[in-house]
Amino acid sequence: MVNSKPTDARTGEVEWFTDPDGLFGNGYYETQVVALSPERTRREVGFLLDHAGLAPGDRVLDIPCGHGRHAVELAQRGIHVTGVDLSQPALARAAAASWEAGVDLRLEQQDTREASLEARFDWAITLFNSLGYGEKTDDRATLRRIASALKPDGALILEESNLEYTARLIEREEHLRDGVYVTDYAYRGVWDQPVYHMHVWNPETRRMQVHVLWWGEDGVMRETLADIRAYSFEELSGLLEDAGLRTVATWGDYDGSALEPESKQVIIKAQLA
């Protein structure tokens, strides 16, 4: 049988984040959607309007948009949203959610690293740890594509976990095993099924391996491995700069509070340099 999965041109291997059978196939929705509650999404979208400056009538590029949680909420507030993601299951869910909510979304299946986008957006939003899946060169390519989609006075809102906070939480003696830090936890997923997470954090590479084990709607057990790089604020600013974007504002939480070393999140507003 021919393997039709997309592969990395450099290594010829299937990348975990573009693998249709991987976490970002159905797994992301089935294991994460409970944590990504409508209240949480409303709070995040509230920040975009009240603190970042998005306004009804604006054109917003949600990249990657996942299952459209921000896109639908923004469209309900009179914003014109284009969502880009590579995951077909995620885009199908976004389309269904927009239909249910009675709003129009433009959805495009594209790889963010080589996305073809017109420079017509007032805003781009890249939310919820959507960088660090591959190598730095992948993130540079994605940010360059995003920069190319902004109008001259447009801006990107980027949100990632705060490396300092994540490291402080995990790098505790009781989690240390042979030079890496291991933590695990379990919760109930979208079908009320158990979802198990095991995280292996390597402080040297600053990469977190995330092993997820869960049951699908068909009752069959699935498992997947993600491998995500965490960036410091300085590294994120550097990547943005490489893409022709300069940091013009920062926050440490969706409540609009200032960025501090102990902030859980790093939220950056960047404009064309």
Starting at the edge strand found earlier in the chain, the sheet holding 176-177 runs: 176-177, 180-188, 194-202, 207-215, 221-229
Cα four-point dihedral sign 70, 103, 89, 7: negative
The 223-262 site mask, x for binding ligand SAM (CB under 6 A), equals: ----------------------------------------
Q: How far is CA 160 from CA 55, 178, 259, in A?
A: 23, 28, 12
Is the Cβ–Cβ distance between 103 and 127 less than 8 Å? Answer: no
In sequence order, the β-bridge partners of residue 161 are 265
- Whose tokens are 């491998």? That residue is 227
Q: For the window 81-120, what string marks contact with ligand SAM as x by the rule CB under 6 A?
A: ----xxx--x--------------------xxx-------
- For the segment 8-27, give every residue that binds ligand SAM (CB under 6 A): 17-18, 24
Angle between helices 233-242 and 136-148 (to 10 degrees): 60
The size of the interface with ligand SAM (CB under 6 A), counted in residues, is 20
Q: Closest CB to ligand SAM among 100 and 204?
A: 100
Tell me the C-alpha distance between 162 and 160, whole Å.
6
Measured from the CB atom, the residue of 108 and 175 that comes closer to ligand SAM is 108
Q: Which is nearer to ligand SAM, 73 or 235 (CB)?
A: 73
> Which one, 107 or 245, has the nearer CB to ligand SAM?
107
143 is a contact residue toward ligand SAM (CB under 6 A): no
Instruction: Copy the structure tokens of residue 47.
Output: 């920040």
CB of 112 to ligand SAM, least distance (A): 4
CB of 148 to ligand SAM, least distance (A): 15
The residue type of 86 is L
Query: β-strand 150-161 against 121-126: which pairing, if any?
Result: parallel
Taking CB atoms, the residue at the shortest distance from ligand SAM is: 66
Q: Which stretch binds ligand SAM (CB under 6 A): 122-130, 188-196, 223-231, 252-260?
A: 122-130
Of the candidates 137, 88, 135, 138, the residue with the CA atom closest to the CA atom of residue 112: 138
Q: Give min distance, CB of 18 to ligand SAM, in A.
A: 6
Residue tagged 């995040």 (tokens): 44
Decide if 222 contacts 214 (C-beta within 8 A): yes
28 vs 231, which CB is nearer to ligand SAM?
Answer: 28
Q: How far is the CB of 209 from ligand SAM (least distance, A)?
A: 16
Give, as ranges, the residues between 62 and 81 that touch ligand SAM (CB under 6 A). Answer: 64-66, 69
Site of tokens 């095991």: 198
CB of 92 to ligand SAM, least distance (A): 12
Q: Which is nearer to ligand SAM, 87 or 166 (CB)?
A: 87
C-alpha distances (whole Å) from 2 to each of 10, 137, 224 are: 20, 29, 22
Where do contacts with ligand SAM occur on this chain (CB under 6 A)? 17-18, 24, 28, 64-66, 69, 85-87, 90, 111-113, 127-130, 133
